[in-house]
Amino acid sequence: MTCRTRFAPSPTGFLHIGGARTALYCYLESRRRKGVFVLRIEDTDRERSTQAAVDAILHAMDWLGLEYNEGPIYQTDRLERYKQVAEQLVAEGKAYYAYESKDELEAMRNEALEKNEKPRYNGAYRDANAPLRDDPNRVIRFRNPQDGTVAWDDSIKGRIEFSNTELDDLVIFRSDGYATYNFAVVVDDLDMGITDVIRGDDHLNNAFRQIALIRGMGWPEPIYAHVPLIHGADGAKLSKRHGALGVDAYRDDMGYLPEAINNYLMKLGWGHGDDEIISRDQALEWFDVADVGRGAARFDFKKLENLNGHYIREADDARLAHLCQHRLESALGRALTEADMMLLAKAMPVIKVRAKTMIDVAEGAQFLFEMRPISMDEKAASLLDGDALSLLEKALEALKGQPVWDMALLEEGVKAVAEEAGLGLGKIAQPLRAALTGRGTSPGIFDVLVLLGREESLARIEDSLARGA
């Protein structure tokens, strides 16, 4: 049987990092088994579902490279199908019409609580054989078994059992003409031929009800794999302060690469020996959802940053230049020219070495495009005192005397100034860095000189000398 997995987010918000991991696991499992990956948008919550959230989910899937074979399929396009199945179940005696008002249901709930019992439907219409009639309170309830258990072998959790006595007769079709979540999911999984349901273990309570529905209807039952949730580094449930943010925030606000996010999320609950860097091709060969751990994984930004730094260093320079273009333009307040972009790509090998995020890349490259006189950060300004200015002036003369703006010759000239003064190279490199970049840290000073070129380098040094005079 062909493996068919599905990722089925509700568009009530952006795709958060836990949902992205679920999507990744679904994708990898289907691809490894040469199956089909389906994207389904569960948008029956009309009050909370938004087009903006749908767009964010689709963009996030595209950015992460999680290509689906079918979809997106929208539940709101399938309302008639849900109604058809619900009415068929009534005709078969597997479901029934019920007409309690909100007040009657509330009274039922309060009575149970007064008896210290779990609130549940009392089955008043279960055996009433109530006919179909126009009534604003009309719902369809599934006739759930009243004894026995719901049990299955979860691919991750192992054997799970739940008593049917804990389940009441679930509403499958509401009075507003919409199917309930658990019913729509079951119908969708049947119609779409889903063989493997991979999702967060916050769906375990839904699983009991959905499996009861499937078995009651005599439908094929998928294999379930409930993935443990992600916790923060402190062991608490993942929240915004831990990193429970939309995928867009990791891309736009924090500057992560998709390959780093994929690698990190994949390892967040699953592993292959001691391998930390796992390519997409390797993942497609090695991943098996049955190998996902049963315990909650802990989100660690430090590990993610280190992984992102690796992928930045490995990334194509022109691609990195394109990715940080918008950040640079926003910081500079102007558009980068074609020549600027060529310079940016040329500078990438020395800019990206220490970068952990694309924010670092953009900040590290900003000095290349600043207009004269360049601004100074506090550390840079402190490096341009009286003695440093004297050394800077000597370095300027040495640089002016170079016949060719070549890195080796530039280094030779500056070193000669340091030796003449009886100082280490750093004593001159630091004020040079401040004058050329306006910062206390930068790529190697001779890389900076070459990238800026003769005219711009000399002019920036002269600006600093004039400022300090």
pLDDT of residue 20 exceeding 70 = yes
What stretches of 21-119 adopt beta strand conformation (E)? 36-41, 70-74, 95-98
- Report yes or no: 305 and 357 within 8 Å, Cβ to Cβ: yes
What confidence score (pLDDT) does residue 206 get?
Answer: 93
What confidence score (pLDDT) does residue 234 get?
Answer: 78
pLDDT band at 395 (very low <50, low <70, confident <90, very high): very high
pLDDT of residue 236 exceeding 80 = no
What is the pairing mode between strands 230-231 and 4-7?
Answer: unpaired
Query: Quick one: fold of 378-468?
Result: Arc Repressor Mutant, subunit A (1.10.10)
pLDDT tens profile 58-103: 999 999 999 999 999 999 999 999 999 999 999 999 999 999 999 9
The distance from CA 445 to its chain's CA centroid, rounded to whole angstroms, is 37
pLDDT band at 1 (very low <50, low <70, confident <90, very high): confident
Q: Smallest Cα–Cα separation from 140: which of 204, 88, 191, 80?
A: 88
pLDDT of residue 235 exceeding 80 = no
pLDDT band at 239 (very low <50, low <70, confident <90, very high): low
What confidence score (pLDDT) does residue 197 get?
Answer: 98
Domain assignments of the chain as residue spans, ordered by start: 315-369, 378-468
Structure token digits, residue 307: 């992984």
Read out DSSP for 37-62? EEEEE----TTT--HHHHHHHHHHHH
Q: Smallest Cα–Cα separation from 393: which of 412, 422, 421, 358?
A: 421
pLDDT of residue 469 exceeding 80 = no
What confidence score (pLDDT) does residue 271 get?
Answer: 92
pLDDT of residue 243 exceeding 60 = no
Q: How many CA atoms lie within 13 A of 274 on its CB side?
A: 0
Task: Read off the DSSP letter of residue 330.
Answer: H
Placement of tokens 């309060």 in the chain:
110
Read out DSSP for 305-329? HHHHHHHHHHS-HHHHHHHHHHHHH
Indicate which residue of 94, 240, 267, 303 is catalytic: 240
- Using DSSP's 3-state secondary structure scheme, residue 300 falls into coil
3-state helix, strand, coil in the chain (%, to 5): 50, 10, 35
The whole-angstrom separation of Cα 71 and Cα 74 is: 8
What confidence score (pLDDT) does residue 244 get?
Answer: 63
pTM, full prediction? 0.92
pLDDT tens profile 248-288: 999 999 999 999 999 999 999 999 999 999 999 999 999 99
Read off the pLDDT of each residue in 328-338 and give the average, rounded to a whole number: 97
pLDDT tens profile 142-196: 999 988 899 999 999 999 998 888 888 999 999 888 999 999 999 999 999 999 9
Q: Is 157 a catalytic residue?
A: no
Average model confidence (pLDDT) for the chain? 94
pLDDT of residue 238 exceeding 80 = no
What confidence score (pLDDT) does residue 240 get?
Answer: 60
